[in-house]
Structure 1
């Protein structure tokens, strides 16, 4: 039986076509995976199916849920199916979870309000569902206490609590390490085993391989090709799909041997740190010179970001010391954050943010223009606020602002984990290139050993093993 059918679904903004007509069918116990880079129309397609398109956008075509046909532009009737027949697993689990409400209560609330179960039964069912997800001890936890993988599993439990047979998962493994990614994929497979239907958006080729089913490849609002995943991902027909597969970090070449060391900028001796009763590292010695490229690799919670923060002076170690070389000030040690949106004031335009940096650090606006050209940024983006830019554009603006300070070291903390493979490769190659040109040391945190291998000649794995 077909669970979800889309017929000639297109999206427009006034006279501009944002998504050309797309059609597909997926049955119960099956999945369809949509691959593509940022801006390809993947999320717009999911929003149109749900009836969640942003204001000003219009959808044409049809959405068929089991045997009931809906006009794609008529959202009211489809919204009545939310939770009951259509479930959503969003990109950012923390944004889907109420930060002031305990995890168990959030799942129980869906059982009570959507399915109409008595509260005692709803809480008992929620407790069992969280236990099935490996979260038995987190029933009373608030969202900020959960790791990324745990938050994603809690959100999945809430999304399934209403009994929805069709689950739309938008980038469900974004920013997760390999182990957590595998766990989330297993959780999604369990939906199919139970007879549910999956519509999954991802830029992770390995996730598409692991889930199986049919694959759709999109680019710039167009469907480039589609077919069974085991065929399409092995022998793609379109040049774009081949480019997308080649951009997978596993296909990147290994970083060249390190150049001769420049001036020493940092020396750490006998560092130790314990967090929440867990020893992250101890007896760690490390020195960095201008031009060095070092990657910290490991699973979530292994201490990668904590170590980087200690080295740049944001945190203090429990034991040991960090000495800066050459009379460098604290401003010479800059951090490129995982979420670039958190690095900018949401109410200020990019022009205002960069003007402030120019004024504070004695630079000229011409410096901004030169770096914008170098980083491939259009001046038409300057009047916009951060939320109006893509993650890739905003991350390049974050790098530009750091470069205005003339840093000696850039600590890049998972700077591209939220980007698709093509933009991830472009961004990391650009970061390494700029660091080499400006003789800046680069300290990269990543959960992906393939990314580390391609960018950094020296790699430190946590728990500690040097390679």
Structure 2
């Protein structure tokens, strides 16, 4: 059997405004290859070309060799028999990979049954071990919609990897995860090459690329900018773009300007004695907070600690077990949410142009605001003709930001709003979000797993989870467990 598990020769993607220049690569047993680059650079399209799952209107070119067997890249259907058993994809969007009507444990067990041939009882035991190993001991009986985005991401990881395929493609496998969970997933990914398989990882997270090591290809606008050993490329990059990418890590952002002076404006939203229980445990207890116009408050904590639930409480989307929330009077669109997983917030059946037009007509918004916001968010107008599933996750995330800004909210709960963006686009997008919030006197509660990002952007910080009860402000107290 060949020592080369995966080889691509002049692999490219083209069609409908997309052009990924031909690229060569190979992965031997025990090998690791990481595709790093900006949002929309073609990283995920390369993975889809390998799997044979490119969206309609796009076509692959070149040749692939998988475990010694040659395939024409254009003939995607020829590789379907390999899915799960020889070739596994850990998808970027867990909602595209999970059945919303099936319990999480059952979905992982199903992979063990039909891909590994285990009996029903052994498959359930294997699924339970997988979930425990990923810190999901309480998620076995939960539906995907009852989990946080980070928890759903780990369930999708367990289901996709259960078949033990020697070739694993991981597309943004750690987005939305706190540092300990991210490192745990990196260790699990590394297990594939350690047991003689090969790993192809797609990420915009520089720290993930650094920890995985191996070879790296840096992409920008569908072209290879630089390639080589990860250790060399991330410590002594040669291209200007690679240097800019490293400088855009949140830990290297300049110190933030001081917050605007306090004003006499009434709070946009207040909470007193807020308590929420889930699964027999308190996510937070007796929490008190107050946000004023133009204020940016960061929320941090491990996946599943209740950050998204807190936002839903403040927005009136769910009820609390104790306490009360007071919202300032205003127009009915004043309280908005940026969802952690944009695919869950967009209809997949219509073009983005149609979705935006429907929003403008339904709420009588200013249609002329769309073009300048697209420019400021770095979105090409050609994307308007596509449906949400036909653009990158980072592009869809910026469309979500555009859509919510059109409604000129007074309070915005931004739940990991840049988790799919590369460091450069993330820095620029968040700077714009903060700038517009200050201009429009919109209070923002910003959720992130990156403490450095919160430190650089926010006026105050709220910490949830694991018994911590900390807030970097004398006027905002919280108790969380």
Q: Do they superpose with TM above 0.5?
A: yes
Measure how far apart 1:152 and its partner are.
Answer: 3.8
1:212 and 1:433, CA in 2 relative to 1: closer, same or farther beyond 3 A? same
In the alignment of these two chains, the number of paired residues is 466
Q: 1:271 aligns with which of 263, 270, 273?
A: 273
Measure how far apart 1:237 and its partner are.
Answer: 1.0
Distance in 2, Cα, partners of 1:348 & 1:332: 26
Match of 2:284 in 1: 281
Q: Is residue 12–residue 62 contact of structure 2 (8 Å, CA) maintained in 1?
A: no
Asked if 1:305 corresponds to 2:311, the answer is: no
Matches within 5 A, 1:74-223: 74-119=75-120, 121-123=122-124, 125-130=126-131, 132-133=133-134, 138-223=139-224
Matches within 5 A, 1:9-408: 9-13=10-14, 18-119=19-120, 121-123=122-124, 125-130=126-131, 132-133=133-134, 138-262=139-263, 263-266=265-268, 268-276=270-278, 277-325=280-328, 327-359=329-361, 361-377=363-379, 379-408=381-410
Distance in 1, Cα, partners of 2:95 & 2:352: 25
CA displacement 1:223-243 (0-9 Å, x = unmatched): 111111111110111111112
- Relative to the length of structure 1, the TM-score reads 0.88
Measure how far apart 1:203 and its partner are.
Answer: 0.8
Measure how far apart 1:66 and its partner are.
Answer: 3.4
Measure how far apart 1:103 and its partner are.
Answer: 3.9
Distance in 2, Cα, partners of 1:221 & 1:413: 29
Measure how far apart 1:450 and its partner are.
Answer: 1.5
CA displacement 1:308-353 (0-9 Å, x = unmatched): 333333344333333345x435532222222334334444444444
Distance in 1, Cα, partners of 2:145 & 2:356: 31
Q: 2:439 aligns with which of 437, 440, 464?
A: 437
- Relative to the length of structure 2, the TM-score reads 0.85
1:132 and 1:260, CA in 2 relative to 1: closer, same or farther beyond 3 A? closer
Measure how far apart 1:446 and its partner are.
Answer: 1.6
Structure 1, unaligned stretches of length 5 or more? none
CA-atom RMSD, angstroms? 3.0
1:369 and 1:466, CA in 2 relative to 1: closer, same or farther beyond 3 A? same
Q: Is residue 289–residue 441 contact of structure 1 (8 Å, CA) maintained in 2?
A: yes
Measure how far apart 1:210 and its partner are.
Answer: 1.0
Who wins on radius of gyration, i.e. which is larger?
1
Measure how far apart 1:18 and its partner are.
Answer: 2.1
Deviates more, 1:128-137 or 1:21-30: 128-137
Distance in 1, Cα, partners of 2:413 & 2:97: 29
Distance in 1, Cα, partners of 2:297 & 2:283: 18
Match of 1:424 in 2: 426
